[in-house]
Chain A
Amino acid sequence: MGKKLLLKNDHITGIQGYDVYRREGGYASVEKALKTMTPEAVVEEVKKSGLRGRGGAGFPTGMKWSFLAKPPGVARYLVCNADESEPGTFKDRYLMERIPHLLIEGMITSSFALGANTSYIYIRGEYYYVARILEKAIDEAYANGWLGQNILGSGYSLDLYVQVGAGAYICGEETALLESLEGKRGNPRIKPPFPAVAGLYGCPTVVNNVETIAAVVPIVNDGGDEYAKVGIGKSTGTKLISASGHINKPGVYEIEMGITVEDFIYSDEYCGGIRNGKKLKAVVAGGSSVPILPAHLILKTSAGEKRLMSYESLADGGFATGTMLGSGGFIVMDEDTSIVKNLWNFTRFYHHESCGQCSPCREGTGWMEKILHRILEGHGSMSDVDLLWDIQGKIEGKTICPLGDAAAWPVAAAIRHFRSEFEDYIKNPKNIRDVKHYYRLNNLVEA
């Protein structure tokens, strides 16, 4: 059994409520930080821990915190990004609904470290019921003196709010999230200025993922060095993985970073192998936006080494033969999966979720969906594959926010690794059976 730092108590009955959580040692990090540490010391522990952002980009959290501008007399904010919307990713939801107080505790300790006296949890609208769970936990925290004025007599005060989004993927992008939190249309902001300088209401702001903030709790409790001992290389600690697709045991797993991908897919502790004894075809390892890899490249790197569940190993080989750990949305596809159809489904999503601000993304995502749809309808031509390649290349890195990249990468990777499947659809339209059926079944409007 691997070490668990976040979910070690998730099986305990009543852990959702304050009393059980507290009985199991909850809020110790707040006590420790507020009573025995300075904010700078907390930041130092987080730096030592090597914790990296769990939302997808993997940026070192301690460094992000140290970038926070601290002009005198100006408020600072901590905003928790709970807008978990990446297809294939559901770990934050699990954490929040199972152990809501862990996030609240992490928010208090982190806010203290950053000198924020008002903090927000921005949660996606679809998680409305989870927002209710968090609000209840916040009420309990206020009632027990962990939130409000002068917490534990330390002189430190914090108000914590939950804000529910209105159902836009784009609001998971940190600046769009801030716009939405301010009550505006959720369009990403141009950078600079970065949120660390001018974020929420123009004030210095840190935006962190749910899992990142939760990880601050064991870091403060056990010390950054202790946390850094778990994991491998610069991928320290544990990571929550949302496993889905054609596997025997889908679900959320807390893994120690550094286990092999093969272990993760096939061991009984985790996914338990491919469903119905089928063969593995491909994996999207870090949420729908990261490049898809065929079986041979996900299990081993191009150099023939075993691929590990870590930031570095998954990225080994760059986009040519590697991928990203991303948000840990691990989607497994068996031998019967149509890569083209799967890709079309992903592009539908990004077309639907593009905010419409940047012209390449607004127009390009639509055309990628339309062209894939055309291929799946049996009306594709060989030049369509090149056109797809062209469009994704004009979106990637050419937009204000990373949604453009997220929309472009799956297309690029699918063509890179599975070009023949596209060509097969185009050459043999008879292989296509059920696209229209799929539309009718799911009550969708054709593009």
Chain B
Amino acid sequence: MSKIAYIDNQPFEMKDGETILSFIKRNSGEDLVPTLCDAPNLDPYGACRVCSVDVALKSDGPVKAQASCHTPVMEGSYIFPSTPRITKLRKNIVELVLTDHPLDCLTCEVNNNCELQTVAAKVGIRDVRYPAGKNHLDKKKDLSHPYMTSDFSKCINCARCVRACDEVQGQFVLSMAGRGFDSHIIKGMNTTFNESDCVSCGACAQACPTSAISDVFESKSVVPQEKVRTVCTYCGVGCNLDVAVADNKVKSIQAPFDADVNEGHTCLKGRYAFSFYDHPDRLREPMIKKNGKFEEVSWDEAYDFIASRFTEIKKTYGPDYIAGISSARCTNEENYLMQKFMRVVIGTNNIDSCARVCHSPTAIGMQRTFGTGAATNSIIDLQYTDCMMVIGANPTASHPVTGAKMKQVAMKGKTLIIIDPRKTELTKYAQFHLQLRPGTNAAVLNMMLYYIIKEGLEDKAFIESRTEGYEEFKKEILALNIPELEKVSGVDRNLVRDAAVAYASAKNAMSFHGLGVTEHSQGTFTVMLIADLAMITGNIGRRGVGVNPLRGQNNVQGAADMGCQPYQGAGYLDLKDPEVISKYELFYKSPFPKEIGYKIPEMYDASLNDRLKAVWIIGEDLVQTDPNTHHVKKALEKLDLLIVQELFMSETAKMAHVILPGASFLEKSGTFTNGERRIQRVNKVVDPVGNTKADGQIIVDLMNKMGYPEPDYDPAVQLKEISGIVPFFKGVKWEELGINGKQWPVLEDGSDTEILHLDTFKRGKGKFIHNAFKETAEIVDHGKEFPYIITTVRELEHYNSGVMTRRTRNSRILKEDVLLINPEDARKNSIGDGELVTVESARGEIVIKAKISDEMKSGVMSTTFHFPEIMMNVITSSISDSEAKCPEYKVVACRIRKK
């Protein structure tokens, strides 16, 4: 039987636990009841009382005014949202609020876009009956911060900002101080935005109903000619963005509340770091290097030059002397086109992407154990999990929206296990922090597996019915030398045991991992051990569980899906299989290369050995970001033809023979696939600046130049082709993706998939594979001479090589790379905070400023490579993962001395 309540004596079906406000909104429209302190992504607060409605418990019973936002609907109750009594009450309340609010609407930043103004208009305030009294109109503005601003004379004490800071971001910077009429918002310990611990996520500015908290873009002021929904280009979370446009310029960005991925939230990169797109430094014209200098040329000249050089090299040396590096920053359609260009037009499998240097071990590790390399579950599963295990990842900096959600889940009392050499922000919320030595993930995970078996916590039914290879696996695990593993990892075995027990005994446990797992010589093996942990505890194939790689770049999932890998074509079809080759040949109606191509690190070696002559790189700064810079430079210098397609003159672009100016995500359409396999629509917001072109169009143009007819770049067209060859894209149609996209596999009927491996694994049975811990060659070969370990990390404010974020105000918040060093190590080496340090490895040395911090434990240091001034990768090594060739950024043996 459905339950009924009445609105103005009309019966409506109610839902259990629903508030009166949501009941009215659902049945009588969003705007019937005005509100001030209510916000879509915040818990009910009940303070403004503007949402009051009359409620009677029975027909003709006595009515009582109740705040509708937090009062549950009672079955059979009679709700009157707008009786004269109630409208008068609302009017009186808003009138009281206006007694302490400047009535300067005409000159106010949010004029015409202010919730207080709207509500005042709705309740019909014509007069404020109170004389001038004590007020807060003289409050000073805070303009200290590069992005955030405040003007608390406009504050109406609804506490939406405080709640956004607490409930959405979990930063607890804003709070309410003072009592009663003296109540006021403070930042930190009553300081400015700039001095506070604010992470500039902008949640408060978006939540504020007036202009009391805003930002330098006056985001709420904008009454744009147009608002375009698109997807953020920064990380693999895939936040939806509402971009306000006027006169073909981006005005500001807000986070839409109806986005499944980010639910009205995003970080300072997504929200504020967009001004790079029309920065004066943007490459605006194609250029060819003539006599050592770049000269602007027409697109036709650039295309002719490239086409003739490619043709020449192909003729002289063969197609395998040409290679392409596609970009995980580009759309699926562009990545698809790039691999098609290399394979079908040039005729080589030398195509790779930056997935190589981040999650390629995840792809291989999970393919071998589960059958597919993508995240098994979705971010929404955080709502259903009882235990989160985060390995080698710092989500609050690198995946801020997911990180913020994890904080909220942890604060609600769910178990959090962190395996990381650093004290990341999440460790504050964690029950267990296994602070291991970099490079020993496999040791710690092996110990966990050992204790799970020892304590008898395996999920025997799951192992029996859904996996294979367990008996042998178990034998190998039980034979482990635990004291030895404890010693190498530096983590107390009891702590490891307790964490293992917590993970194994949680009803639903979810694991997340980042580059701290993959960027190691044992990256792939470590991923397999994570998969083993999920299988041994039966944490696969339902809500709130799984193995979930936190994908780094916005479309790194898509670049791999589209076949930008030298050993798998579009849709991960194995190129060693002759049937696959025939399938592609049939599909493309063209011969298809049969030899496996070069992975990125192999390209360097090939160039140095005269086996590679030309490389076309889209949107990747190899020189700044790939390890062992000297080696990379030498290899690139040796090429006959280096084409770099970029937004800015990166360190790699400087070495190019031809530069092609690409378009940023704001200037083109397509799809990105986020870390939970969600294919989302990227919509063009503004026209490409200068003479730039969408990367996809550039590829198409070159295809045509090289004699291969290809229609112009149009995501709908390319997606149609992709759905014909990539099996899990079968039902993907541009028009049907909607605002929230679809998670692959998308079946032919268009239905999508939130959770993988529900009843069986992709490969049939999940496969237990044991991999013993093995010390990296970096430590074995250089550990004695270079006793410290440096590990490379990211900071919240900057993205990867910083080529975009450094050209926004983010660089005012974080200005330089620093070396984080433990106080004890600093003391031993007489290094003071802020002093310059020479860091030397077997490859070279850098000079960098020290920051003393207990984030790192003694013997381990960390730094970022966001700034080209430092060129951190001069010291990183060419050692890479044994299987996927992902470089070992995370372990560099080094020594330090004060400069």
Q: Taking beta carbons and an 8 Å cutoff, which residues of A are in contact with B?
A: 168, 170, 185, 187, 190, 192, 351-360, 362-367, 370, 387, 390-391, 394, 397-400, 447
Contacts and interface: CB of A to CB of B under 8 A. Distances in A.
Interface string B51-78: 0100000000000110100101000000
Given A359-B96, A359-B97, A390-B92, A398 B179 contact: no
Contacts of B67: 190, 400
7 contacts: A190-B70, A366-B180, A367-B99, A370-B133, A391-B92, A394-B96, A397-B65
B831 interface: no
B98 to A, nearest CB: 9
Given A190-B45, A358-B49, A394 B89 contact: yes
B49 A355 contact: no
A168 B179 CA distance: 9
Contacts of A394: 89, 92-93, 96
Interface in B160-208: 175-176, 178-183
Interface of B: 36, 44-50, 52, 64-65, 67, 70, 72, 89, 92-93, 96-97, 99-100, 129-130, 133-134, 156-157, 159, 175-176, 178-183
A222 B70 CA distance: 44
Contact of A359 (B44, B72, B93, B129): B93
Contact of A362 (B89, B129, B183): B183
Contacts of B92: 360, 390-391, 394
A399 B182 CA distance: 18
B46 A190 contact: yes
A400 to B, nearest CB: 5
A359 B65 contact: no
A355 B179 contact: yes
B21 to A, nearest CB: 12
Given A358-B47, A362-B157, A367-B133, A352 B96 contact: no
B431 to A, nearest CB: 17
A362 B65 contact: no
Contacts of B180: 351-356, 362, 365-366
Contacts of B130: 367, 370
Given A359-B47, A363-B97, A398-B93, 11 more contacts: A190-B70, A351-B180, A356-B183, A358-B49, A359-B93, A363-B96, A364-B96, A365-B181, A366-B134, A366-B180, A367-B96
Nearest to A397: B65
Contacts of B99: 363, 367
A185 B176 contact: yes
Contact of A360 (B96, B176, B182, B183): B96
B48 A358 contact: yes
Contacts of B49: 358-360, 398-399
Contacts of A355: 179-180, 183
A397 B65 CA distance: 7
B157 A359 contact: yes
A354 B157 CA distance: 13
Nearest to A396: B65
A190 B133 contact: no
B82 to A, nearest CB: 16
Given A168-B179, A185-B175, A447 B134 contact: yes
Contacts of B179: 168, 170, 352-356
A355 B70 CA distance: 19
Contacts of B182: 356
Contacts of A397: 64-65
A356 B133 CA distance: 17
A137 to B, nearest CB: 32
Given A357-B47, A358-B49, A398-B49, A363 B65 contact: no
B43 to A, nearest CB: 9
The 5 closest A-B pairs by CB, nearest first: A356-B183, A363-B96, A354-B180, A190-B46, A190-B70
A170 B179 CA distance: 10
Contacts of A187: 176
B100 to A, nearest CB: 7
Nearest to A191: B70
Contact of B157 (A190, A192, A353, A356): A356
A359 to B, nearest CB: 5
A318 to B, nearest CB: 13
Contacts of A365: 180-181
B65 A398 contact: yes
A246 to B, nearest CB: 30
Nearest to B184: A356
